[in-house]
Structure formats: C-alpha cells, structure tokens
Amino acid sequence: MITTFAASLNVGLRRALEDDPKVLLMGEDIGRLGGVFRVTDTLQKDFGDSRVIDTPLAESGIVGTAFGMALRGYRPVCEIQFDGFVYPAFDQIVSHVAKINFRTQGKVHAPLTIRIPFGGGIGSVEHHSESPEAYFAHTAGLRVVTPSNPADAYSMIRQAIALDDPVIFFEPKRRYWDKADVDFDALGRDAGLPLDRARVCTTGTDATVVAYGGTVATALSAAKIAAEEGHSLEVIDLRSLSPIDFDTVEESVAKTGRLIVTHEAPVFAGLGAEIAARITERCFYQLEAPVLRVGGFDIPYPPAKLEKHHLPDPDRILAAVDRSLAA
Amino acid sequence: MPGQPDYPVQLVQPDGRRVLDPEHAALVADVGPEQLRALYEDMAITRRIDIEGTALQRQGQLGLWAPLLGQEAAQVGSAHALYPDDYVFCSYREAAVAYCRGVPPTELTRLWRGVAHHCWDPHAVNMTNPNIVVGSQGLHATGYAFAAHLDGAEIATIAYFGDGASSQGDIAEALGFAASWSAPVVFFCQNNHWAISEPVRVQSATPIARRAYGYGMPGVQVDGNDVLAVLAVTRQAVARARSGGGPSFIEALTYRMGPHTTADDPTRYRSAAETEQWARRDPIDRVRRLLEREGHWDYAFELRVTEHADEVAHQVRTATIDLPDPAPTELFDHVYTTPHPLITEQRREYTEYLTGDPDEASARPEGVPR
C-alpha cells in the first residue's frame, strides 16, 4: 500500500504492540494527540493508556523509568519529542541504559528503543533540528540506526524493538511525509535487511557517496544529476551508525576508488571522520583521492532562513564529487 | 500536613528508654526480645563487614570502600521491613541492606576491588548493584514499581539514596513520575548530613521529607539511628505500596561517622565535637542499652554475635583476596547482548596481539564467558 514514513512507523509500532504484551510506548503527547508527528496516532485508543503512556514532561524521567521497567522484563519504546530535547536524558542513556549489560556481565539487559526525530529541513525553531548521532555512536553498548525511507522505517523499528540491546532510533523528520509503496505483510517481523547492514541504493562506478537518514534522498538527487553529466555515482544508505557496515562501504570503494560521506551533523569529529579513517585503513591502495566529507558547518544549528545553506544539498555533494574526480 | 509529625519518629531514646508513640509502636508490636536481638546481630555484623572493608582498602586489597559506619540502624531497620519479593534499588553505601537481602558476604567487594562493575546477581536477591551515579536509581525504582503495578504484582519497590542525591533532578523527576503513576515505590533518603564535604544545609533549606507533600505523597522524618523506629515507618510505607496506596517518602536522620569513601578526609570539613556528639547516638549501642534495660542482654549472646561477626568478616576477607584479576579479553564481553562487528574485531586483534596466535584469537565467540 502507498504509505508515508510516519505511517509506516505507526504500523510497525502497532504490530510490535500486538505481538508482544511486554512492548509499551512512553513519551510526551503520544497518547490522544498521537505524537507531535502523529507517529503513534490511534495507538493509545486501541491499546489503552497502560501500553501507550503519556508521561510527565521529563526526558531523564522517561528514559530512567523505562530502564526500570526493562529490568522487570518490559520492552519500552521511548519517544523523545525532538532531537534537542534528548540531552536531559543523556546521563540515563549513556550511564545506565548503555552500560547495564556490561556492568552486570550479561545478567541484566536493557532492551529499550529510544525514538528520536532528528535533523532539520522543516523550518523549525532552535533545538528542533539537531543531529546528535555522534554522541550516541561514540557510546559503547548502544546501537544507533536511522531509516531513510518508509519500508525501512517499518522493518527497522520492528527489528529494533525485538533486539535485546538498547537502540537509539533516529527518524529523519523531514522524511516523515515521504511516500512509498510498502507491503507490510510481505516484510513481516524479521524481513528486510538485517538491522546492521548498509544498503547500496544505486550502483555506480566513478565514486561512492555514503549517506544516512535525511541525506540519502539528497545523495540520490545528486546521483541523478551526476548521471546527466556523465558521472556514475554509487549511493550507499548506511542505515546503522553503530555498528557501521564497513564491509559494504569497502566493497564499493574498492570498485569506485573514491568516497564522499555526507551528513547533516557538523563535520568535525562526526561520523564522516570515522568512516574516512576506517576506509582509508581498509582501502589505502584502492583510493584514488582523499575521502571527502560534505556536512553541516561546525556551528549551532542555524535559524530556519539559513538552514538551506547549512544542510548538504545536491550541489555541495556534486562539488565534492568534482574535487574527488579531479584528484 | 495533617497527620504528619513535624519531629522525627523515635521509639527508643539514645539511653535505651522507649518512647511513648502508640501509633508507631503498634507497627513493631510483634518485635519481641528475640527479634530485637536479631536486629542487633545484623547491625553488629554489618558494622564488622564495614570495618573489614575499610581495613582491606587500607591494606591495598580494595581500590575503594564507602563506609556505612553509623548508618546501621537506617539500613538494617529498613531492610527488615522488606519482603523477599520486594525489589531494592540502592546507592553505593548499602552493604548492610545487601547483607540483609541475603547477598553472600563473599560477593560484597567485587566492584570495590575493581574486578567487575558489579558485586552480585541483582535478580537473585531482588536488589540492584551499587549505583555510582547519584540519584539516578530513583527513576529506575519508579519504573520498576510501575511495571510491577502493570503486572498486578503486589510488591513494593524501594529506592535508597542520600541527602546529596536529593538535589539531583532525577530524584525530583522520580517523585513526579511516582505521584503521577501512583507507583508502589518507597523513597528512602538516608540523610547522613554530609555529601562528601557539603553539609545538608547546602542541599536543602527545609527538611527533605517535606518535599514529598508537594508531590502529593506522605513524607515522614524518622530517627535513623533508632532501628525500631526505622523498621516501623518503613513497614508502614511498604504496606502502603503493597496494598496499592502508592508512593511515599522516608527521610532517615542519621550520620556518616566515617569518611565519604576511603579516599576522603573528613577532618578537613567537620569538627571532632560534631562527630563525638553523634557517637553518643550510636545506633548499635542504643539497641544494646534497650536490651540491657529490659533484661535480654547476656554475655553468651554478646560472645556469639562477636564470633559470628568475625566469621563473616573472615569470609569477606578471604573471598576478596581470592578474587582473581579478570582475563584481558573479558574487556570485550557483554558490551552487547548480540555480536557487534567492531567489538568482535577488536577482541580478535587484541587477543592476537597478546598471544601472537591468530587461531586462539578467533576461537571464542563474543559474549561467551570463559
């Protein structure tokens, strides 16, 4: 059926609630309102307010109490309303959720899924457009994933909830209204790519572009324009930011010899740096040019009227492709 | 608030005389001489464990120890109010609570020796491991309590924390969530008057228990050096939680006689006079005086308790010294529940580096303990 990204998540959450009585949703405004992006629309009506829980406005509280519930065998799915609101919960996530399995040598798990709408491009105010993924990818014990399209939104939320490890689940909010034809029944619970695998979206021969979340569509636009200009780009959707599927990236770069990484987050000490370093190690003799990064500037997220300059667009990606090809 | 005493609940005075408080005395009316002796014995043993912990640190066998000296009544009294199916979330100073929960004395020092980040199996005794981040466990307890409520389990969950932790946002958020959810949780604040070097006045301008009223739950202040009074008020709170009455808050006024940890020097920030004043309120002496006054003390009992305490301390000592250092590759165990390529790769590389043997490096899958 034709569905949006947000509606695919809704179906995924609904089926997770149906399949496992220990799954419950927690967050601010997720009940009657259905969440500010309507991702949890109608779920409280259908599953009740003890499965879809409107919490007090306290992010540390949401994650901290979810952690306690996980200790009693529940699988809470927390919604953090916006990226910039996750910081009060940071201590609970990195100090407790991420570490409990290691701390107790496997005796206690924390199978939490923490959903965070992230990134910009929707003309919003401060604290509503951030890309905090590097903080979490840097934390051992967490898995960090981000779907880029409606089908992955469904299959990845199902897989994230089923996993015994805590998952930070970033939802690129400017893609919430993207539409696609998704066959939910064919996907089932476990179908689709494994959660930690990257996907080659388009194959190409001249350069590889790695993107994730909101920038995948941008990279695909760039590849389309490049094709018209006679350059063949291979676009990879990373999907998982921890772990990163370096094998898929390596295989591509071994073929193309050139790599451009793009993300919305500031470039300095971001995921692009990690990917550049690893691929340089793995593909030192195949690389024809230095790995390039196209990302947000190293600034606080700018006001809405300037965000189009901050966010990578197809032109900036293509400029990097040109630099790479010229090397 | 009506019905809330504005003085600490006390049932036994420092000189061993009982206090006339029919309401709270009724809650411990079943505690006869034998039970009183049992409380004394647990307090004496946990003090002995604590002294051993400090000695082991001084001898280099432990990296750190957080002494509970002086807080035995607050911990033993409250722990005796709990049922085995209740669940305990603790801070890092609750060795006496752990002992009363049935944690083997041999498991009390693992974390402090630095061989692991935990001491015991939480689900084996329904008690979490020492929590180092101050106050965060208030939220964990609230979530656990709410989950138990969803399960229909009639149990109480208790969160231990200190006066310093009461300043943390997580405790405030926990009180808010617990009240909002009517969660069956007991907040047990051991106000030991010092958060490392900061006196409690730095944390709060009012009695900490009073904050509970603002959240719509009962808050009671109790003489935390009076084991019977602590037992009484904790029984009341636990019964309330187990019967669906929701959360409550206890502030046990006690005193940390020793340093914050073995790395601390309290002589830099508090007077000997203050410490001596609290020594006269020693929680163990108080029970002994009560037993003596009521004719239930004898030398044979004293000797038996001392021998038992020495035996437990000996177990703690030998178990601590016998704890081997973990194998280097345990670094990579249990970071995740499921294989993670980065960890798998680093384990293989480091094992190969240590052994020079690529075969051994790839022999053991991630997450499988030795």
**ipTM computed for the complex:** 0.94
Whether residue A56 and residue B128 make contact (CB cut-off 8 A), yes or no, is no
Residue A1 contacts B, CB cutoff 8 Å: no
* Distance of alpha carbon A234 from alpha carbon A257, whole angstroms: 11
- Provide the pLDDT for residue A185: 87
Q: Which element (helix H / strand E) includes A52?
A: strand A52-54
B58, with CB counted inside 10 A (0-12, 13-18, 19+), is exposed
Q: Is B160 on the interface with A (CB under 8 A)?
A: no
pLDDT of the residue at B364: 53
Cis omega before residue A243 (within 30°)?
Answer: yes
Residue of B nearest to A247 (CA): B341
Q: Who's near B87: CB < 8 A, 6+ residues apart?
A: B126, B127, B141, B144, B145, B148, B155, B156, B157, B158
CA distance A84 to A82: 6
Are B139 and A69 an interchain contact pair (Cβ–Cβ within 8 Å)?
no
Q: State residue B370's pLDDT score.
A: 39
B336 classed as catalytic: no
Predicted local distance difference test score (pLDDT) of residue A192? 80
Low-confidence stretches of chain B (pLDDT beneath 50): 1-3, 5, 367-370
Q: Which of the following is catalytic: B24, B101, B193, B256?
A: B256
Active-site hit among B269, B304, B314, B353: B269
Min Cα distance A43 → chain B (Å) is: 18
- Decide if A55 contacts A23 (C-beta within 8 A): no
pLDDT at B101: 98
Amino acid residing at B88: V
Does the reported pTM lie above 0.90? yes
How far is residue A187 from each of residues A18, A170, A183, A193, A213, measured CA to CA in Å?
16, 21, 6, 10, 20
Residues of A in contact with B146 (CB under 8 A): 65, 68-69
A246 in contact with chain B, both atoms CB, cutoff 8 A? yes
Spans of chain A below 70 pLDDT: 189-190
Give the tokens for residue B287: 């029970």
- 3-state secondary structure string, chain B? CCCCCCCCECCECCCCCECCCHHHHHHHCCCCHHHHHHHHHHHHHHHHHHHHHHHHHHCCCCCCCCCCCCCHHHHHHHHCCCCCCCEEECCCCCHHHHHHHCCCHHHCCHHHHCCCCCCCCHHHHCECCCCCCCCCHHHHHHHHHHHHHHHCCCCCEEEEEECCHHHCHHHHHHHHHHHHHCCCEEEEEEECCEECCEEHHHHCCCCHHHHHHHHCCCEEEEECCCHHHHHHHHHHHHHHHHCCCCCEEEEEECCCCCCCCCCCCHHHCCCHHHHHHHHCCCHHHHHHHHHHHCCCCCHHHHHHHHHHHHHHHHHHHHHHHHCCCCCHHHHHCCCCCCCCHHHHHHHHHHHHHHHCCHHHHCCCCCCCCC
Within 75-114 of A, beta carbons closer than 8 Å to B belong to 88, 91-92, 95-96, 99, 101-109
| The two three-digit tokens of residue B135, written as one number | 């106050």
pLDDT at res. B357: 77
Q: Are A14 and A157 in contact (CB under 8 A)?
A: no
Element (H, E) at A68: helix A59-71
Q: In the prediction, which pLDDT does B367 show?
A: 47
Residue B3's pLDDT is 43
The mean of the pLDDT values for chain B is 95
Cβ pair B143:A71 closer than 8 A: yes
Q: What does each C-alpha distance from B366 to B269, B330, B341, B362 come to in angstroms?
A: 48, 10, 10, 10
How much is the mean pLDDT over chain A?
A: 97
pLDDT for B1: 41
Q: Do the chains contact at A67 and B143, CB–CB below 8 Å?
A: yes
- Give CA–CA dist A35/A26, Å, rounded: 11
Task: Find the radius of gyration of the CA atoms of chain B.
Answer: 22
CA B342 to chain A, closest CA, distance in angstroms equals 7
- Whether B256 is catalytic is yes
* pLDDT attached to residue B361: 59
- In the structure encoding, which two tokens stand for residue A15, read together? 């089926």
